Structure 1
Amino acid sequence: MFRFEHPDALFLLLLIPVLAFIHLYLAKRRKKALEAFGNTELLTELMPNVSFKRPTVKFYIMLFAFILLIVTIAGPQYGSKLQTVKRKGIELIVALDVSNSMMAQDIEPNRLERAKRAISRLIDKLQNDRVGFIVFAGEAYVQLPITTDYPSAKMFLNSINTDIVGKQGTAIGAAIDKGIKSFTTQEDINRAIIVITDGENHEDDPIAAAGMAAERGIKIYTVGMGLPKGAPIPVTGGRSNDFMKDKDGNVVISKLDENTLQKIAITGNGAYIPANNIRNGINNLVDELGELEKSELEAKVYTDYNDQFQYFAALALLLIFIEFLILERKNRRLKHINIFEVKEEKNK
């Protein structure tokens, strides 16, 4: 597995196009200055030892050397050994509602975005626990199989939107059922499902699903996204004041169903967290999850990363040395030699 020990250093690569642009700009100015001074062909004859191409060649050699030095600073490494390590933790499934109602803006910037931020904070607080994602609307799908790779989890989290599930609706029961089936087969381990939704269930029986989870020792926590007074649902791709309407032309108001979410949490031996107190709620949830007994979890990780920076550094130094050897002026002794010139055969 290849990685950079200091990936932030790669942002220095943004300087490359800037330096190239500056060089092109100055070269163009020099060319215009020579043209204003006199005929360029005549000037070339008058200055036979002056090279107009060598400074450009020297610049791009140094530019490439600079790129290699940036890569060297970033610390390229290659994982040489895949090792099984054992850690103590729990397994956690986050089931996120991605139905259109999650775009309502009764909490800013909208319910879905606020939910993703809360999940991101939750991931930051996890230690050695396995986490997975399920997305649901009218149906439920596994977005991320359970893993200890938190950077990958955040990457998958950022890609979640309301278009990720084709069938609209809110099937909380299906999400819980999918979560139950998504845990590993390892025994004697504490597990929990966090359902993040506005609670407007229209598809199935989430209370019964929570009861099935509780029978298997899986705790169900619910996080309510939205406010009881509700808000209209923006139309995707429409104007700022375009909202979803029912068949009679009335604007649909999506309201938080706290009653259902509280029943799910109680049945699932968990707790309910309202959106208006989500930051403290997530902190309390992490504390409660931390009190669950940790079990040994096995995970595959790369160890013994070997540094590869020396190859990039050596090549960069070689380019710098080559650039030093190339003179900006033509060599008087070698100027008549042209290895690319094809000699014409004399006609016999």
Structure 2
Amino acid sequence: MNLMSPQLLLGLLFLPLILFLFYRKNVQAKATFSHLFKVFFSPKGIELKKQEKKQASLPWLFLASSILFFIALSRPQWGKSEVELLESNIDYLVALDVSKSMLAEDIVPTRLDRAKLLATNFISKLHGERVGLLAFTKNAFIEAPLSTDYELLEEILTELSPNDFPNEGTNFAAMLDEALQIFSSNEKAKNMLILLSDGEDHGGGWQQKLAEFKKESIQVLSIGIGASHGAVIRNPNGSLYRDYKGQPIVTIFNPASLEFIARSTGGVYIQADKYFDISTVVEGMIKNPGYTKRKEKMKTHAEKYTYFLLPALILALASFLFEFPLYENREVKLGSKDKS
């Protein structure tokens, strides 16, 4: 038998200590084990009956239940079981523009919130594929490496905010460089960059980097987040961002740059002025030769904790019924005296 969490068995050491303290505390009253339960849960108080000669009986059912419960927590395993794994030869990297222009409200509720919603929905539908998260403004930051920990990725994605990044502006060149570095050390046959941005770029020099993407067969799915008309940008407190002249800053949606990135890498461009499912677009792209997904069965140790947990629950119920008998409660009225 193999235990996945053997350290949890140390909890058994507390059982003798609990019993010792309980009996020591009640040595004068010779209280039975049931009083421990009644002291905590009785609203009216307990009449502890002294037993001069009769010793308190050990709660064998409670002890047995506790032992089995801790064994179940340690996750015992034996035998073999087959687990079906879903493996893909493609990895995804989500690149999210978190510049302040993404706070514009020409897309409801904001450009950034729409991008997060699309990316979160895509990640939630993955099964076995690895995905990473890259946030970029003037610089690019790896928020999560390639992994299948989808819950963690969604949590990180939800918390991203422009206020968490020191540099303003947008630099596609820094984002593309970071994506190339991530994919260059990747052993998977195919890689796809999913870019969510409003298309504004303040750096330049990113066009030359697309040749390397095509050489490495990295397709880009460009998703334009914005509307054709310009929009002002609001602070979290509701005030407008202004330039050095005090005029409200207007951000202009620029789909041309995103279309160029997608076209240069053999990818696809989609404008997210209306909600759509990224997974549907990706499925159409990965039908090309070279993209595969296979199921593999792997033998592993079989989990057997239920063999101990079920008896532990039954014994706990029996202990409740037989080792915690009901005692007659007595109300004590303030100001009253006992009559002899």
Q: Provide the residue aligned with 1:249 in structure 2.
A: 246
Q: Provide the residue aligned with 1:329 in structure 2.
A: 327
Cα offset, 1:152, TM superposition: 3.4
Alpha carbons of 1:329 and 1:186: their partners in 2 closer, same or farther (altered >3 Å)? closer
Alpha carbons of 1:118 and 1:76: their partners in 2 closer, same or farther (altered >3 Å)? farther
Tell me the amino acid that sits aligned with residue 285 of structure 1. Answer: V
Q: Provide the residue aligned with 1:131 in structure 2.
A: 131
Cα offset, 1:224, TM superposition: 0.7
Cα offset, 1:181, TM superposition: 0.8
272, 285, 288: which is aligned to 1:288?
285
Please tell me whether the aligned partners of residues 77 and 305 of structure 1 are also in contact (alpha carbons under 8 angstroms). Answer: no
Deviations 1:107-165 (A, max 9, x none): 11211121111112222443443211111111101111112333333333233232343
Alpha carbons of 1:134 and 1:204: their partners in 2 closer, same or farther (altered >3 Å)? same
SS at match of 1:291: coil
Q: Provide the residue aligned with 1:272 in structure 2.
A: 269
SS at match of 2:229: coil
Please tell me whether the aligned partners of residues 133 and 145 of structure 2 are also in contact (alpha carbons under 8 angstroms). Answer: yes
Between Structure 1 and Structure 2, which shows a larger proportion of helix residues? 1
Cα offset, 1:179, TM superposition: 0.8
Tell me the amino acid that sits aligned with residue 217 of structure 1. Answer: S
Alpha carbons of 1:281 and 1:123: their partners in 2 closer, same or farther (altered >3 Å)? closer
Cα offset, 1:246, TM superposition: 0.8
Please tell me whether the aligned partners of residues 122 and 278 of structure 2 are also in contact (alpha carbons under 8 angstroms). Answer: no
Please tell me whether the aligned partners of residues 98 and 161 of structure 2 are also in contact (alpha carbons under 8 angstroms). Answer: yes
SS at match of 2:234: coil
Alpha carbons of 1:277 and 1:326: their partners in 2 closer, same or farther (altered >3 Å)? closer
Please tell me whether the aligned partners of residues 94 and 195 of structure 1 are also in contact (alpha carbons under 8 angstroms). Answer: yes
TM-score by structure 2 length? 0.66
Q: Provide the residue aligned with 2:162 in structure 1.
A: 162
Alpha carbons of 1:84 and 1:263: their partners in 2 closer, same or farther (altered >3 Å)? same
Distance (Å, rounded) in 2 between the aligned partners of 1:297 and 1:286: 15
SS at match of 1:141: strand
Tell me the amino acid that sits aligned with residue 314 of structure 2. Answer: L
1:95 maps onto 2:92 in alignment: no
Q: Provide the residue aligned with 1:192 in structure 2.
A: 192
TM-score by structure 1 length? 0.65
Q: What is the aligned-residue RMSD (CA, Å)?
A: 4.0
Aligned length: 273
290, 306, 319: which is aligned to 2:316?
319
Q: Provide the residue aligned with 2:221 in structure 1.
A: 221
Please tell me whether the aligned partners of residues 125 and 286 of structure 1 are also in contact (alpha carbons under 8 angstroms). Answer: no
Same amino acid, percent of matched pairs: 23
Tell me the amino acid that sits aligned with residue 305 of structure 2. Answer: Q
Distance (Å, rounded) in 1 between the aligned partners of 2:156 and 2:300: 24
Please tell me whether the aligned partners of residues 97 and 197 of structure 1 are also in contact (alpha carbons under 8 angstroms). Answer: yes
Deviations 1:39-96 (A, max 9, x none): xxxxx9xx886xxxxxxxxxxxx9xx9xx99xx9xx9967899x99783331211111
Distance (Å, rounded) in 2 between the aligned partners of 1:263 and 1:210: 9
Please tell me whether the aligned partners of residues 218 and 268 of structure 1 are also in contact (alpha carbons under 8 angstroms). Answer: yes
Q: Provide the residue aligned with 2:142 in structure 1.
A: 142
Alpha carbons of 1:297 and 1:137: their partners in 2 closer, same or farther (altered >3 Å)? farther
Distance (Å, rounded) in 2 between the aligned partners of 1:289 and 1:78: 41
Please tell me whether the aligned partners of residues 89 and 291 of structure 2 are also in contact (alpha carbons under 8 angstroms). Answer: yes
SS at match of 1:192: strand
Distance (Å, rounded) in 2 between the aligned partners of 1:102 and 1:188: 32
Distance (Å, rounded) in 2 between the aligned partners of 1:302 and 1:199: 48
Cα offset, 1:295, TM superposition: 5.5
Please tell me whether the aligned partners of residues 274 and 281 of structure 1 are also in contact (alpha carbons under 8 angstroms). Answer: no
Q: Provide the residue aligned with 2:182 in structure 1.
A: 182
Q: Provide the residue aligned with 1:259 in structure 2.
A: 256
Alpha carbons of 1:168 and 1:48: their partners in 2 closer, same or farther (altered >3 Å)? closer
Please tell me whether the aligned partners of residues 199 and 260 of structure 1 are also in contact (alpha carbons under 8 angstroms). Answer: yes
Distance (Å, rounded) in 1 between the aligned partners of 2:162 and 2:225: 15
Please tell me whether the aligned partners of residues 90 and 188 of structure 2 are also in contact (alpha carbons under 8 angstroms). Answer: no
Please tell me whether the aligned partners of residues 118 and 278 of structure 2 are also in contact (alpha carbons under 8 angstroms). Answer: no
Distance (Å, rounded) in 2 between the aligned partners of 1:146 and 1:115: 19
Gap runs ≥5 in structure 2: 6-37, 50-61, 330-340
